[in-house]
Structure 1
Amino acid sequence: MRILILGDSVSQGSSGDWTWRYRLWRRLVDAGVAFDLVGPRDDLWDLRADAPGAMSYADPDFDRDHAARWGMFAGMPDVPVASLVTTYQPDVVVVMLGINDLIWTDQAPAEVAARVGDLVAAARSARPDVDVVLSEVTQHWFPDAPELNAQLALLAQAATTASSRVVLAAAAAGYDVDRDTWDTSHPNARGEVRIATAVAAALHELGIGPAATLPATMPPVGPRFPATFSGTLAGAEGRLAWTSGPGATHQLLWRRDVTTGAPWTRSPVPLPRDGTLVVPGLRRHHRYDFRLQPVKGDDLPGGDVYSAVVSLVPGGPMLAPAGVRAVARGRRCVRLAWRPVPDATSYVVERRVGRTWTRPVRTTTPSWRGTRLPVAPRWTFRVRATGDQVVGPPTSVTVRPARSAAPCR
């Protein structure tokens, strides 16, 4: 069973899409139908280049042949339909055209339907017994689109013959502009499933495949491919750069201050598909995480589709105190000293007790004196530098008490 899909951008799809052609192929394969999708193309529309030729399908592992082209008019197919049918000998032609004629040529719905009727006649001129599926245009919210769909229904009834059947695919039924498109015109993953289900139901009328209903669970929408993301530092400024994956029309930036335990927050301003961004005012020694979330039109990606996390620490991490020295002053006293740590405003000292540490004691100088320590064979201390909500890594030191009972000093 050879099937030729003739359509415009809704049928061709764009960068990162599965396409409704994939959804139909998957449905028929799972049903055990022996079929072949035919046509002169196998590509998507490349959103970045604004040209045909993209192969960036969300899943390219299917029969991608088709005869759809972005911007095609029913009245001006780029390849004559008779030539397509002669070359590929389809048993069924699926036609999903007319919305561009309606919007861009100011033709009345009846005139556009007549142009679709000419396509049916041209297909029959090359193969008199070819069957045809006429799909409604999905964008029923555009002026005159409902009337065009009504005219296509009348055409399907009038054009049917004993040797060449014409059936209508009710693709507009239940199709929603917000839920099923990413830009008020082109289908997202949910829209793809709805169109494929309508076309599969029409094919069932022709005896091809089982009865078709919508699945209980719809697929996630939005881009499936994260951006390539990187970042550098220039003083207290972060410099981010990215290139979007297929399908993204822009990116959303998320950030968090890991040092303060802040949650991820999303910038309200979307970023372009590709670009760079300077992030000023980063605090020294704080670790900041950044990630990008791809968006296609008005569709956020379903599920966790994010770029790799870029982490930036202006000034580097807070350093551990160096040169820590401990001198016992009697059996219960000790004095600690260390070299000052850059950007530290204070230090915390803790003493080990078994497997835990005592409550931190804070000092603003690079030294500390401990008194009334418990009598023990040795004491272990650790010192950390702190500043601007940053706590650096520790440096540990162990000291034995002095044997004498000299007073603390």
Structure 2
Amino acid sequence: MVVGTLLGLGQTAVASRASAVGIPTQDQVRAALASAPGSNLFWTGRVGSCGSEDDSVKPTAEQYARQHGHKTLEMRLADAGLRMPPFAAPDDHAKKIWRFASAEFARQTSHQTGVVKGTCVRDDNAADKPYDVMIVGDSVSNGYEGDATWRYRLWQWADDQNWQAHFVGPLTGTEKQRAAHPPEPPPLVENAPDTVTAQPDPSEFTGAYARSNDPGFVQGGSAHYAMWGRTLGQDVGTIEAVMAAQGAQGHLPDMLLVELGFNDIGWQGAGADLVDTMKSFVDNARRANPNVQIVLADVPQRTSLGSANPQLPQRTRDYNAALARAVPTWSSPTSPVVIADIDGAMGCNPASTACATAYDGLHPNPLGEYRIASAFGAALHNAFGIGTAAPESPASVPDRQVSTPTGLVFDGTQQGVTVTWNKIVGAHSYDVQWREVASRAAKPWETAVPPARFNRWDLPWQYSFQPVDGRRYEVRVREVTGDADNLTSAWSTPVSGIAHPTTPKPPDEVTAGAAGPGEIDVGWTPVHDDSLTRYAVYVYDTDTPLVFAKVYGYAPTARPPRRITGLTPGHHYQVFICSWNASGEGMPHIAEGTVVP
């Protein structure tokens, strides 16, 4: 016989009114089982010969409960004066009301509890039922190809503590590095993509984990619902359906571990008001499971973004403070809500340019993965009594190893300078440097902006008006897995070649004129080239620093002029047009002057 923690029980549906005379109703049972947090005790199984009900551990459990101020299911029913029928009664209603009582007893149990378990139990015993846990989050929780992830560190702790957590969700992998591909033209204006779809494509999240991860996690413990770029605002509308879909597979989440909000604050300007969105998320989750237990992470501070987002630190502080005030009022007797302090665990200073727990100022490095798992584990232990102790985080963890790229190949026949190399699993990006090699001496290295996201790079015209046909260029590459110097590899051996671009020429004439407040008309002369696949119209706001041009795609058959709307009235815009074919994007033709809509 053992006494241990019990976290999950099965649920059985029963009618709200019993149909047999003398059997209590569901409402009567529910009222009888009302209990304070941490006051319930479960029992299951038999001892001795295990041959009859006389071998039940029930008397031992009741004795233990009286000694420790707890109540078993039967004790609560007796205290309320309810007479329950024998479970073995021939009437099926008797079994149904007992099953409902067991499920209701579990639903009304919160905080730390225990179970007195015999040496032999039924095969379907609820004490042995895995606890379905779904992690909901963004890139911090999804992880990138080659990461161990904090989800793995929590899985390790659960396994060490014998917590029968079964992690569920529609996804299983990390964000994977995209396959190498040529430059992509802008989408056609008439076929512009909608906003980010509500439901993920599982194929996008099949990135591998660190080779050191336990196969038990990779092959059966890595399910989740976390995606790069995901916002809390998106998941408010999807969480109920996602939970219901898991329930249809027999794994309705008993608990949610939620890490969301940075993208709403960082890129959409949210602050303390995001707490209302989080409350809606909790409400929608409870529609799928009224008894779901929820652990909400606060939002971690990231290192300084300088002038790019100066309000981010204060908005993050405002949200975290508002969340701390609100969450204590959100718990119900059957659905507690608590906070995991991952901001404190990560400890990144928003005034600094480096953080010991993040490889880029936000996303956890190997040490940060332990820290976030520790924060969630502490919340699980302190609020729900899971485990004998909260997980510990090591003082230091080796960073990921980097490798120098190899296998560079130069191709001058497409966009003029195209270089590919062997993919490095886990590379977050690749720094690329290039230069023109003159007959007498090489020019200084130029650093490509932005860096390459996969193992291919094509020299774009935007920052240099290169390449030029017939000239020789040299390129070198290095792997990057974070901001620190030790997360960047040595430069590769350079590769060189002569540029012979086969991209199309731009229109001979380009015009732009104001058409109304925030609107301009753009015209151009057609390019007579059968290889043409797209026109790219660039509209650049010269009055707004640090902003990218808006790009609009038009089919070769599009008839100019085309009206561009949604611009800022009174701002100065520069307009230029490029032509595309299968080789890539050609040089631009820039309209004369600027236009003010």
* One-letter identity of the residue aligned with 1:206: F
Q: Which residue of 2 aligns with 1:154?
A: 325
Compute the displacement of 1:207 (Å). Answer: 2.1
Where does the alignment leave 5 or more consecutive residues of structure 2 unmatched? Answer: 1-130, 181-202, 247-251, 304-311, 349-353, 410-418, 433-444, 458-475, 494-597
Q: 1:221 aligns with which of 385, 391, 399?
A: 399
Q: CA RMSD in A?
A: 3.6
What are the equivalent positions in structure 2 for 1:368-379 lying under 5 Å apart?
Answer: none
Q: What residue in structure 2 maps to residue 126 of structure 1? A: 288
Q: What residue in structure 1 maps to residue 233 of structure 2? A: 75
Q: CA deviation at 1:306?
A: 7.7
Q: How has the CA–CA distance of structure 1 residues 52 and 241 changed in structure 2, closer, same or farther, with 3 Å as cutoff?
A: closer
- For 2:338, what is the secondary structure of its paired residue? strand
Q: Aligned partners of 1:152 and 1:140: how far apart in 2?
A: 18
> What is the distance in 1 between the residues matched to 2:385 and 2:296?
16
Give the distance between the partners of 2:144 and 2:208, measured in 1 at CA: 8
TM-score with structure 1 setting the length? 0.58
SS in structure 1 opposite 2:392? coil
Which 4+ runs in 1 deviate beyond 6 A?
A: none
Distance 2:208 2:484 in 1: 18
**TM-aligned CA distance change 1:94 to 1:120, over 3 Å:** same
- Give the secondary-structure state (helix, strand or coil) at the position aligned to 2:356: helix
Q: Is the 8 A contact 2:143 2:175 kept in 1?
A: yes
Report the Cα distance in structure 1 between the residues aligned to 2:204 and 2:316, rounded to whole angstroms: 26
The structural deviation recorded for 1:300 is: 5.3
**Compared with structure 1, are the counterparts of its residues 196 and 8 closer, same or farther at alpha carbon in structure 2 (3 Å cutoff)?**
same
Paired residue for 1:166? 337
Partner Cα distance (1:299, 1:34) in 2: 38
Q: Report the equivalent of 1:207.
A: 385
Give CA-to-partner distance per residue, 1:239-262, whole Å, 9 cap, x none: x97424122235689xxxxxxxxx
- Normalized against structure 2, the TM-score is what? 0.41
Structure 1 169/214 Cα, relative in aligned 2: closer, same or farther at 3 Å? same
Larger-Rg structure: 1
State, as a whole percentage, how many aligned pairs show the same letter: 31
For these two proteins, the number of residue pairs brought into alignment is 276
**Paired residue type of 2:338:** V
Is the CA contact 2:405–2:477 (under 8 Å) kept in the aligned structure 1?
no
Pair 1:295 & 2:480 matched: yes
> CA–CA distance in 2 between the matches of 1:56 and 1:226?
17
8 Å CA contact retained: 2:135, 2:225: yes
Once the two structures are superposed, the pairs formed by residues 302-381 of structure 1 within 5 Å of their partners are: none
What amino acid does structure 1 have at the position aligned with 2:282? V
CA positional deviation for 1:227: 5.5
Give the number of the structure whose residues are more often helix, by fraction. Answer: 2
Match 2:455 to one of 249, 259, 274: 274
Distance 1:72 1:275, change over 3 A: closer
Moved more, 79-88 or 185-194: 79-88
1:65 paired residue number? 223
After superposition, where does 1:213-252 map in structure 2 within 5 Å? 213-222=391-400, 224=401, 226=403, 229-230=406-407, 242-250=421-429
How far is 1:52 from its partner?
Answer: 2.6
More strand, by proportion = 1
What is the distance in 1 between the residues matched to 2:253 and 2:208?
Answer: 26
| 1-structure distance, mates of 2:360, 2:455 | 19
The reply on whether 1:145 has 2:330 as its aligned counterpart is no
How far residue 209 of structure 1 moved from its aligned partner, in angstroms, is: 2.4
Q: How far apart are residue 128 of structure 1 and its match? A: 1.2
Question: Residue type of the partner of 1:55?
Answer: G
Verify: 1:108 aligned to 2:271, yes or no.
yes
What letter is aligned with 1:105? Q
- Matched with 1:336 is none
Rounded to whole Å, the distance in 1 between the matches of 2:150 and 2:388 is: 17
- Counterpart residue number, 1:53: 205
Assess, with a 3 A threshold, how the Cα gap between structure 1 residues 17 and 106 changes in structure 2: closer, same or farther. Answer: same
Q: CA deviation at 1:113?
A: 1.1
